[in-house]
Amino acid sequence: MSEVFYISAAIAIMATLMAITRLNAVHALLYFIVSLLSVAVIFFILGAPFVAALEVIIYAGAIMVLFVFVVMMLSLGPQAIEQERSWLNPRIWIGPAILALILTVELTYLLLMKAGGLSGVKLVGPKAVGIALFGPYVLGVELASVLLLAGLVGAYHLGRGGKKIEEASRGVS
């Protein structure tokens, strides 16, 4: 079972190295998503299934989609269609696809073994995490909500457009 850990760790490091050396942002995002998925497999076999699910849903799902949105917004130009066509070239997505396929094989193996984690590792399920999160750590949850509100207000203020911000700051001063 610990081989699964080492294979996932190797995939994570390889995909991260590929992610920071790509010239095209979308290729880098593909490799980084594979890296996040392999870290999620590591979480799963370390006995933290709830955090593994959060890693896939929030990191690979939500945060990476934000990145993809911004990359797509910035690349709107006459060459965008040509670029889109080049992304459908198998040479681009075959690397992340192979790495993700290895992860799928690992996940299938884990599911068939009906194993929640490594043999010597205690499984810490979502129930224990929830009880601790809203018990001793409830102040941290409140602080996190304030932080998210600050992020929301900040992103809204910055996203309104340059002219309006200049006028608003001039009106204040």
| Interface with other proteins (CB under 8 A) | 1-3, 5-6, 9, 12-13, 16-17, 19-20, 25, 28-29, 32, 35-36, 39, 42-43, 46-48, 50-51, 54-55, 58-59, 62-63, 66-67, 69-71, 73-74, 118-122, 124, 128-129, 131-133, 137, 140, 144, 147-148, 150-152, 154-155, 158-159, 161-162, 166
77, 133, 144 from 109: Cα distances, Å: 45, 31, 36
CA within 13 Å, CB half, 143 = 5
DSSP state of 47: T
Which residue type sits at 94? I
Judged by beta carbon, residue 59 or residue 93, the one nearer other proteins is 59
Give min distance, CB of 77 to other proteins, in A: 11
- Output the smallest distance, CB 95 to other proteins, in A: 16
Q: How far apart are CA 115 and CA 45, in angstroms?
A: 8
To the nearest whole angstrom, how small is the minimum distance from the Cβ of residue 103 to other proteins?
15
Q: Under the phi-then-psi rule, with left for phi > 0, alpha for psi from -120 to 50, and beta for the rest, what region is 118?
A: beta
Helices (H) and strands (E) in the chain — how many of each?
9, 0
Shortest gap between Cβ of 106 and other proteins (angstroms)?
14
> Which is nearer to other proteins, 93 or 137 (by Cβ)?
137
Instruction: Give least dist CB 109 to other proteins, A.
Output: 13
Nearer of residues 35 and 103 to other proteins, judged by Cβ: 35
| C-beta closer to other proteins: residue 48 or 100 | 48
Q: Say how many CA atoms lie within 13 Å of 98 toward its Cβ.
A: 8
Which is nearest to 53 in space by CA: 108, 111, 126, 112?
126
Identity of the residue, 19 or 100, whose beta carbon is nearer to other proteins in the bound complex: 19
